[in-house]
Amino acid sequence: MTLPPAAAKTSQISKEKIFLHRSYRKLAPVTARTLAAEGLLLALPFVLLIILFYPQLTLAISRLAYKILAIAVPPEHLGIAEVPSYISPLYGLVIPDRFPSVGFSLAVMGLSVLVTVLAWGGRQLAKPLGSWAVFICLINFISAAFFVIMPEKFPYTGSMFSGLYLQTMLTVWMLIPVVLALSLLPMPGRRPGKFLLITVSMAYSILFGTVRFAFFMLVLYRYSLLFMPAMIFAVGPLLDFIFVVGFYSYYVSRVSLKIQGSEKTWYWLY
């Protein structure tokens, strides 16, 4: 912008538009009723779908996971059946149980200690990831110690894990729309856009959850039940919420880019 000579001399710049400073702005006021309605509108359809169709969903997931696993597991060791769970009918994969040998458990304990030392003493960027690795190692160490001391007391089978995993995922899939709907409530933007974001997040979670299910079952089949606790505690639901936050942040970033230069979005403080 070229300044008029007088303005340039006196630093008195005439501007057509001055945006509200970040300290002095907010969005348009909304009523609690509008918010509640929007929240229900965004979250409820997904929650209802999960509640009404979870048997079909778990069956479809198990079929897809079966197809993926069939690449690495002989078909006589693999099956789909109704698995133990608190809700029925719930369909999951069935595999033969494999218990770790004492030698394998001791090796896992040793490796966990080694990785813990390396991860915690790691370089800069590895530090926060290292602390996560330490958490995983700690769980594996405890699990391995359990299998060394009292393997017969391990209360789960592969099929039980199957049921446990799918129940956990059903809970995750009911929570994702609620979490996202609540998080998106304060944000401007059209409802279809928000609805699409939740749909994409759900689709991703179901797909990722299925692939992970197949992977977990393969680990249990190949490397024993020892790794079950780590799968549940360290790389289970926590990972799902990380990508939910990822989708949310991408949406907010897009909205932020869209409203740049818009005078209508921002209101004065009161």
Partner 1 sequence: MVLALLILKIYVNIVIALMVLYIARQFRFTMNRMSGEQKMYYQDIMDSDMPSVTVLVPMHNEELVALNVLERLLDADYPKERLEIIPINDHSEDKTREILDKFAAEHPAIRPLHRYAGRRGKPAAINEALQRATGEVIIVFDADYRPPRGILRDIAVCFKDPEVGAVMGRVVPENVGANLLTRMLDLERSGGYQVDQQARYNLGLLPQYGGTVGGFRKSYCLHTVDGEKVCFDPNILTEDTELTIKLYLQGKQVVYANRAECYEEVPEDWDVRGRQIRRWARGHTQVMFRYLPQIYRSKMLTRRQKLDGMLLLVLYAMPPLFFLAVAALMVLFFAGEPAYATLLPVFFLTVAFNAFGNFSAFFQIGAATFIDGSTYRIRLLPFLMMNVFFNGIYISDGVIDAALDHVSGRATVWQKTMRFRKK
Q: How far is the CB of 6 from partner 1 (least distance, A)?
A: 25
- Which part of the chain contacts partner 1 (CB under 8 A), choosing from 45-53, 74-82, 122-130, 209-217? 122-130
Is residue 266 a contact partner of residue 19, using CB atoms and an 8 Å limit? yes
Task: Return the residues of window 18-57 that contact partner 1 according to CB under 8 A.
Answer: 21-30, 35
Q: How far is the CB of 188 from partner 1 (least distance, A)?
A: 9
CA angle 51, 168, 164 (to 5 degrees): 110
Q: How far is the CB of 151 from partner 1 (least distance, A)?
A: 12
Please, where are the H alpha helices in 70-157? 102-120, 126-149
Rounded distance, CA 6 to CA 225, Å?
80
Q: Check binding of 244 to partner 1 (CB under 8 A).
A: yes
| DSSP-derived pairing of the beta strands 79-82 and 91-94 | antiparallel
Q: Which residues contact 212 (CB under 8 A, 6 or more apart)?
A: 235, 239
**By the criterion CB under 8 A, which residues form the site for partner 1?**
21-30, 35, 86, 124-125, 127-129, 131-132, 134-135, 139, 142, 146, 153-156, 160, 164, 167-168, 171-172, 175, 179, 182-183, 185-187, 229, 232-233, 236-238, 240-246, 248-250, 252-253, 255-257, 260, 269-270
